[in-house]
Amino acid sequence: MREAHPLERQVGIDHYVSDGPGVGGRLRDDPSEFRVREIESGAINPEPLDADPSSYPHLLVRATLTDWDTNDFVGALSDAVGISRERVSWAGTKDKRAVTTQLISIRGVAPADLPDLSGTTLDPVGRIGRNLEFGDLAGNAFEITIRDPESPEAVDAVTDDLAAFGGDRVAVPNVFGHQRFGSKRPVTHEVGLHVVRGQWREAVLTYVGNPAETEPERTRAARTTVEAVASGPDPDWHEALSATPGHLGYERSMLHTLVENGGTELSDFREALEAVPWNLQRLFVHAAQSYVFNRILSTRLRRGLPFDRPVAGDVVCFADADAPDDLPLPDTDRLQRVTESRVDVVARHCERGRAFVTAPLVGTETELGEGDPGEIERAVLEDLDLAPADFDLPGNFDSTGTRRAILVGATPTVDRDPLTLSFSLPRGAYATAVLREYLKVDPRDL
């Protein structure tokens, strides 16, 4: 079994499924070489553009963005229109270095209000009576060009390995990609693990201090100062704040709170973490859950348990009946524990795309599996000194947990000149889970 890149092992991804070499090469030389198009769930049925705005207050717009992060675009859009960014909603967040096409909804504006922003095409498609939500996204279609591949012929062997792994369909472990944890400095899950253990001081210092070699020298110097201040008998948090440059906005928010509160009590550090936006607070815990999930999948892979079909003790979920026919979508609200007598029946459902084997994103309401899968889940949690009850946390850090499919099908189409992979994935799945198998390069280059 081929060992994963060292940076991937830091986030719980220990192996590749495909044993041979990757094609190598580079991605995103130009944004046009990484295209992403959202696939809507079918729950969106807009009214015409001239529909009554009092009944349908949200303008639905199809936005094609070149080299725009979704959050940055929403900020620029709301500023240009002169509205609060809370009036803009979208179903899925997209990366910057790409050409992306997605729907957005904007409350209380007309088509004539849309601005002309560089690198954007905004096409009004109708009006709807509510804002867009994550559930409106079924998945994403990708078209990705690999530049200067070192071994382009390896693409066929990788595809064969992934088809064997997926039970005669190309599929990969549904891991959380490296970017989930911080592309340049993967520490988000480490912060979250400290939060879940109630180690508020360690959580803050892991985020604010803890310099990484991949960061600019000025940033490393600031984090080194924070660690030096924190190690003293009477920390001067004002010195740490003064040393932290303005572009580290979240770090400065935490340090400013420590300056205000003294930074001596455990509660001071919890308040420092609560000084950042609520979605980042949640991301810390979600990243910890994602790390545990990746560890569970790595252990299952090492032990030789299948991903495309269940064994006794697994928990499966069934397919979302409203998903597009060509994009099976797991519905993790419909779960069933697999007994020995039901293994063959459920395996046939999995083969037909009607059911999916799952693993936990651990939270307070998580019910672990039984048999070998349950033993793996408990062993990973024990190794990390975690239990489902530990996720009973204050405020935005609390999480009830859920389950997630452990396998995701891709079935890429391959064009060879230039080498281009085209595939679709359900919402929540990472393109890097597929690309890492084909390229086998540093995850920061994906």
Residues tagged active-site: 95
185 within 8 A of 212, measured Cβ to Cβ: yes
Contact 146, 23 (CB under 8 A): yes
Tokens encoding 441: 């390069």
Inter-CA distances, 79 with 62, 238, 394, 423, Å = 19, 33, 33, 35
Distance between CA atoms of 11 and 180, rounded to whole angstroms?
Answer: 9
By C-alpha distance, which of 275, 282, 227 is closest to 252?
A: 275
Q: What is the distance between the alpha carbons of residues 3 and 298, in angstroms, rounded to a whole number? A: 11
Cα dist. 274→95, 270, 328, 375, 400 in Å?
26, 6, 38, 35, 19
210-238 residues labelled b (16+ CB within 10 A) or e (exposed): ebeeeeeeebeebbebbeebbeeeebebe
Residue 346 contacts residue 313 (beta carbons within 8 Å): no
Of 327, 296, 304, 16, nearest to 161 (Cα)?
16
CA angle 46, 47, 52 (to 5 degrees): 135
Look-up of token digits 């349908």: 56
End-to-end CA distance of the chain: 22
